[in-house]
A and B are shown apart, each in its own frame.
Chain A
Amino acid sequence: MTTATDILTAPSLPAAEAAGQAILDADGMIPAREILAIAWEGVVRNKIRSLLTMLGIIIGVAAVIIMIAISAGTEATIAEQIEGLGANLVFIQSSFMRGGPGGGNSVNLVYDDTAVVASVGGVVGTLVDQTTSLSVEAGSTTLTDIQIVGTTPDFPSVREVTIADGRFFNEKDLAQTAKVAVLGAGVAADLFGDADPISQQILIGTTKVTIIGVAAEKGAVGGVDFDAQIYVPITLVFDKFIPSQFARFVGNNVRMIYAQIDEDADMDTVIQQIEYKLAKSKGVTVEELPFTIQTQDDVIETRGAATEAFRNLLAWVAGVSLLVGGIGIMNIMLVSVTERTQEIGIRQSVGATSTDIRLQFLTEAVMLSLVGGLIGVIAGVGGAYIFGATSDMRTVIVPSSILLAFGSAAAVGVFFGFFPANKAAQLDPIEALRHE
């Protein structure tokens, strides 16, 4: 127990001498806890200013998280759209899509190729669709801009649509270009209310068709509302609903054939088989076949590449705001060092080394960045959530973006804190003490 009397007693010199070189031992660090406590004091000393200093970092970190959440949301929507087309699909499309159908010698993807694809072992379903938008009339009710999906009989199994009432159209309906339609649950309710739509007739555009089935409710998948669509044989779309010039131009060419592959089959083998059989039926080699065959993952990746450029741009914008935040911290720290020159002198006079002073101010800068980063993370996650909930854009909060933003904030603190901390550490104790 140290007492007041002990304190006022002169130190024993021999003891000090015995300490010898230990007196000069200034290389050790003072405990990290101590540095943290001193730095924290500096941060909370002037709360308003600290908060304003952190503002740049807060905005930067929040921006990184929100931007990444938006682009991740966009990617998730794309993935959902592609996956919403059905499970285990491959997409077969003409490589010359934009070129359109050419002369008699060119190889086009035509509706009849569906049969070739369907004949490949491991293919459990094929699907072709052509969508158009028309008004629909039933009795006195008229709906405008309804999606009319011309498709093939495998549609319900591939797209996982259940028929609640009646039936879906079959190959025979397709072959006969039968004027039949299956209603999405929402359209059925809008047109007929509680009445039974089966065998009723409706007017799609100017064509009278008979309802043969109603789909069960499925809701929206990847932005496509299945309940708001009407399904008709694709041959009927080609024949009646697509403007005649376009139909002539398109002929029986199709944009894309979807093939559903057996879960147990090897995807690559089946794709090779499809290529081989298509090439054989067209009389060309596999290498010459001008079709691209992609899996869902391939398509998601291809579409994802488009959003990547957007994401990179956003990342740059967010990065710049972090940089600006760092410069803000540096400025305030420089002012702070000048204002606290006397404090630095006092600390030096009682034995603080330049390392101690440097660490104190560096820690303060990092602390400002980290506290700012933490507030930024909260603001970013909250902002992304609110943004996603109140706008059309979807946001997905990516955990790694939080780490990235937080880590960048810490790095900014170290980088921009170094210059002011060095300035503080190099102050001359005599001049610092004299500073008012």
Chain B
Amino acid sequence: MANTTIIQTEGLTKVYGMGDILVKALDGVDIHIEQGEFVAVMGPSGSGKSTLMNILGCLDRPTEGRYLLAGQDVSGLSNKQLAAIRNRQIGFVFQSFNLLSRTSAVGNVMLPLVYKRGAGAPPPAERHERAMAALEAVGLADRANHMPNEMSGGQRQRVAIARALVNNPVLIMADEPTGNLDTHTGHEIMKLLHDLHSRGGTIVMVTHEPDIAAQTQRTITMVDGKLADDGHGRRQ
């Protein structure tokens, strides 16, 4: 597999104004993540890891610095363009699953396809087919028409993973994916992420559980908005 850079940030800085005080949530963060890497992001609360996740997931823009996603500078894109990037290149897995509660599993998985527009927008029949394939990939094809409230936490997270995969993203952002699950179910979800990784997926996962982080190849540690450890043994 070619070694392609998926994430490259240079001096990533995020400043929030809180009244008269300016808070630097991120302070010059340089990160480099290659295709096929499985990276954990750790750090105490307030360390800036959530802010980093939001920017890497294109939910937010840096105040300063550059962010190249799969070679494309996304730090200055408009909200609309960021939405398109999220739609086509990023798949999210959240701690609280974030499924539409009144929509079936397959309906939830189809959601990113619904918002895919322009070239490559799949027609409805193909959408359903792809959503079913994604559900099959996470072992839930038989639950396609169940509502989220009819499913266990583990099953819901699987649906969320299927949703993250359905548009073939270049990057999976997982924010505490096992945080709401018991240990056993958490292991199952991790196994699924490992499976995904072994097939070449690039995954960035925020966690505060060291044993979960230890399952990844590399752990990035954030402290006070700075990169304390980039996981390559180098400290900034």
A349 within 8 A of B: yes
B120 within 8 A of A: yes
| Interface size range on A against B | 35 or more
Binds B, one of A6-14, A130-138, A169-177: A6-14
Which A-chain residue is minimally distant from B117 (CB atoms)? A28
Contact flags (1/0) for A1-19 with B, using CB distance below 8 Å? 1111111111101001101
B117-A11 in contact (CB<8A): no
A279: shortest Cβ distance to chain B, in Å? 80
Q: Which residue of A lies closest to B163 (CB)?
A: A350
Question: Which one of A90-98, A260-268, A302-310, A338-346 is at the interface?
Answer: A338-346
User: A8 contacts B115, CB within 8 Å?
Assistant: no
Interchain CA distance A29-B87 in the complex, whole Å: 14
| B222 at the binding interface (Cβ < 8 Å) | no
CB neighbors of B among A338-374 (8 A): 342-343, 345-356
Q: Which of A17, A23, A343, A433 contacts B100 (CB 8 A)?
A: A343
CB of B151 within 8 Å of the partner chain: no
Given A24-B84, A350-B163, A354-B79: A29 and B117 within 8 A (CB)?
Answer: yes
Closest chain A CB from B133 CB (angstroms): 4
Say whether A22 faces chain B, with CB atoms less than 8 Å apart: yes
Task: Please tell me if the beta carbons of B83 and A430 are within 8 angstroms of each other in the complex.
Answer: no
Q: How many A-B residue pairs have CB under 8 A?
A: 141
Contact residues in B for A34 (Cβ distance below 8 Å): 114
Among A27, A41, A342, A351, the most chain B Cβ lie within 10 Å of the Cβ of A351
- The distance in angstroms between the C-alpha atoms of A245 and B108, with both chains bound, is 91
Contacts of A349 in B (CB 8 A): 57, 59, 86, 92, 98
Please pick, from B54, B115, B129, B202, the residue contacting A356 in the complex, using a CB distance under 8 A. Answer: B115
What CA separation (Å) do A9 and B1 show in the bound complex?
12
A386 within 8 A of B: no
> Are B98 and A23 within 8 A (Cβ)?
no
B contact residues, range: 35 or more
For the residues of A in contact with B, the DSSP-based class is: helix
**B80 contact from A1, A2, A38, A355, Cβ within 8 A:** A355
Residues of chain A contacted by B114 (CB below 8 angstroms): 30, 34, 38
Determine the chain B residues whose CB is within 8 A of the CB of A6 once the complex forms. Answer: 133
**Contact yes or no, A350 B86, CB < 8 A:** yes
The answer to the question of A25 belonging to the interface, with a C-beta cut-off of 8 Å to chain B, is yes
How far, in angstroms, from A23 to B54 measured CA to CA in the complex?
19
Highest count of chain B CB atoms <10 Å: which of A7, A16, A433: A7
* B115 close to A1 (CB less than 8 A): no
Interface residue? A26 (CB, 8 A): yes
Determine whether the beta carbon of B115 is less than 8 Å from that of A351: yes
B-facing mask of A244-278, CB < 8 A → 1, else 0? 00000000000000000000000000000000000
- A346 to B, closest residue via Cβ: B98
User: What is the bound-complex CA distance between A19 and B88, given in angstroms?
Assistant: 11
CA distance A351 to B59 in the complex (A): 10
Contacts of B167 in A (CB 8 A): 351
Given contacts A13-B70, A430-B59, contact A8 B84 (CB under 8 A): no
Cβ of A16 and Cβ of B89 under 8 Å apart?
Answer: yes
The answer to the question of A413 belonging to the interface, with a C-beta cut-off of 8 Å to chain B, is no
Chain B minimum-CB-distance residue to A23: B88
**What residue of chain B has the Cβ atom nearest to residue A429's Cβ?**
B59
Query: Mind listing 23 A-B residue pairs with CB under 8 Å?
Result: A3-B133, A7-B136, A7-B137, A7-B168, A8-B201, A9-B200, A13-B2, A13-B70, A16-B170, A19-B120, A22-B118, A23-B84, A24-B77, A24-B84, A25-B117, A30-B114, A30-B115, A41-B103, A348-B59, A349-B86, A351-B112, A353-B83, A354-B79
Residues of A within 8 A of B (CB): 1-11, 13, 16-17, 19, 22-30, 34, 38, 41, 45, 342-343, 345-356, 429-430, 433
